[in-house]
Amino acid sequence: MSVPFIKVEDLIFTYDDEDSIDKHYVLKNLSLEIEKGSFVCVLGHNGSGKSTFAKLLNMILSPDEGKIYIDGFDITNPDITEDDLFEIRRKVGMVFQNPDNQLVATIVEEDVAFGPENLGVEPSEIRRRVDSALETVGMSEYATHAPHRLSGGQKQRVAIAGIIAMQPECIIFDESTAMLDPQGRAEVMNTIAKLNSEQGITVIHITHNMDEAVKADRVVVINEGEIFLDGTPKEVFSNVEKLRRAGLDVPQVTELFYDLSHHGVDLPSDILCEEEGAEILSAWLKK
């Protein structure tokens, strides 16, 4: 079997709480493996530890205990060098929540070039990468525009292009859709799905939007610093009660089927999308 792209073992992360002697555990003994090329959604309510987990994966934060391997390389090794860190952050790119906090230049294409420039890439190669990254996210026509005049969804796509230009193997989206309107959200989600399916980039998408999680290959629910549920979207969302206890919603159609089954109607509990649900329920009603 191949080595997983990301392997996390017994991860512990605490914040010191000045008011108490007890440590505040954000992550406790979290272990997880993520295969290369997969599309994983990490769900959890605010404060569940999901963003901390993301920030550990490219050493923006370092764990109190536990090991993290990226592509077989132990990034938690205390002897890690600055160069190693650079390489890890190139391999594992990150797109944050607020589109206004991550654009640095005054022109879109210069912003996308910022990463590769800092990696010391040849100018002609930078040009090529910037053009191709902007094309991938569908922002080529805005190459010479000012970022502050773009919509939220467009800004996030520029931020994603900036990451792609560094040719990462994995991109972590840390609630990158949370501040966007439905249209911007759809633009970004389509871009994410495309990067995963066409370029084989491993995607870790952190969100509390259930509709987005439905699109992933795998859903991992983190609750109180631990893995609470892990499986395909269908497997995870059929646990309606458990998800509610973790402060999460399920898609409305899943909820409806769940409620109906409690009224003695014999229906499957793993329905996620409206078309599938309508198909099954209409067949049932016509019986």
Nearest CB to other proteins, comparing residues 64 and 181 = 181
Q: Is 33 in the site for other proteins (CB under 8 A)?
A: no
| Sheet bearing 170-174, strands edge to edge | 92-95, 170-174, 202-207, 39-43, 218-223, 226-231
Nearest CB to other proteins, comparing residues 29 and 209 = 209
Q: Is 45 in the site for other proteins (CB under 8 A)?
A: yes
Per CB under 8 A, the list member of 123, 181, 197, 235 interacting with other proteins is: 181
Q: Is 143 in the site for other proteins (CB under 8 A)?
A: no
141 φ, ψ to 5°? -70, -10
Q: Is 234 in the site for other proteins (CB under 8 A)?
A: no
Longest CA pairwise span in the chain (Å): 67
217 Cβ contact partners less than 8 Å away, ≥ 6 residues apart: 38, 39, 40, 232
Query: Which residue from 76, 242, 80, 102 is spatially nearest to 172, judged by alpha carbons?
Result: 102
Query: Nearest approach, Cβ of 3 to other proteins (angstroms)?
Result: 34
d(CA 272, CA 138): 29
Part of the chain binding other proteins (CB under 8 A), chosen from 23-31, 86-94, 176-184, 187-195: 176-184
Q: Is 105 in the site for other proteins (CB under 8 A)?
A: no
Q: Is 274 in the site for other proteins (CB under 8 A)?
A: yes
Q: Is 17 in the site for other proteins (CB under 8 A)?
A: no
Count of residues near other proteins by CB under 8 A: 41
Angular region, 220: left φ>0, alpha ψ -120 to 50, beta rest? beta
Burial code (b: 16+ CB inside 10 Å, e: under 16) for 169-186 equals: bbbbbbbbbebbeeebbe
Part of the chain binding other proteins (CB under 8 A), chosen from 7-15, 62-70, 126-134, 181-189: 181-189
Q: Is 59 in the site for other proteins (CB under 8 A)?
A: no
Q: Is 261 in the site for other proteins (CB under 8 A)?
A: no
Query: Nearest approach, Cβ of 265 to other proteins (angstroms)?
Result: 6
Query: Which residue from 115, 75, 110 is spatially nearest to 93, judged by alpha carbons?
Result: 115
Q: Are 11 and 63 in contact (CB under 8 A)?
A: yes
Query: Nearest approach, Cβ of 55 to other proteins (angstroms)?
Result: 15
> Under the rule (CB under 8 A), what is the footprint of other proteins?
45-47, 97, 151-153, 175, 178-184, 208, 211, 247-249, 251-253, 255-256, 259-260, 263-265, 274-275, 277-279, 281-282, 284-287
